[in-house]
Amino acid sequence: MHKKTMDIRTIDREENRRRMKNGELYHAFTPDLIADRKRCQAACTRFNNAGDVSRRTLVGMWKDINGDTIPLPPPRARRDEDDAILEDWPWVDAPIKMDYGYNVKFGQNVYVNSNSTWIDTCTITVGSRTLIGPNCSFYSGTHPLDPTLRNGTRGPESGKPITIGDDCWIGGNVIVLPGVTIGKGVTVGAGSVVTKDVPDYVVVVGNPARVIKEITPSKPTNGAVNGLSATINYSATM
């Protein structure tokens, strides 16, 4: 029996976008959202195929993906100097896959290893200095469990935001599900599936991820870099 469906053409686009942003049921296959995904796909393709280009070029391509309008600082004469002034912008290794791009928000000095997937139906926020391993996936989108309501591409879907705190380490092949908040300073073991919120300064592993250890962060006297230098014995005689 053919299921009765809503005519996508009659949907109020602004209301539909509001519902998407707020995690309510909305329709993903309206012309405007299809166009947004195509724009993001094209920007990701350019980034993934960039090859050996400058750090500034890659940062510019990243800004094209997520719609960041903050201007880059003026370029420096030397490439190493130019790289240095861009160090707090995200370091992202290709390939990358995003749905919309504009719902992904990174803090400063974030690193993302290769082959990451971001289903950014709702906002996905990653805190400063967080490191993300290869093959990680972040799913903020979800679907109704009722198959009649779900109804393929004709039915509605929804999302829940994902938040990852500052100074986290997300191991390779980790999956983070909709609505999850990961606290500050968390380590997520490789291959874990994070299904619920994680408190600050713990190690979680497994499917579903569970806490196995608490972390007591050190307190360097002159900032993280100087503290690291004091811990590692750098030798001028090497």
Show Cβ contacts of residue 21 under 8 Å, excluding neighbours closer than 6 positions.
122, 123
CB 142 within 8 A of CB 158: yes
Give catalytic status of residue 143 as yes or no: yes
The H or E element that residue 65 is part of is helix 55-66
- Which residue carries 């309501």 as its tokens? 149
Question: Which two three-digit tokens encode residue 134?
Answer: 């290869």
Using DSSP, state whether 204 is helix, strand or coil. strand
CA distance 15 to 91: 35
Q: Among all chains, which residue has been given the structure tokens 């809503």? A: 6
Which of 87, 86, 176 shows the shortest CA–CA distance to 124?
176
Contact 129, 5 (CB under 8 A): no
Q: Which of 97, 143, 150, 184 is catalytic?
A: 143
**Alpha-carbon span 233 to 73, nearest angstrom:** 35
- Give catalytic residues, as residue numbers: 143
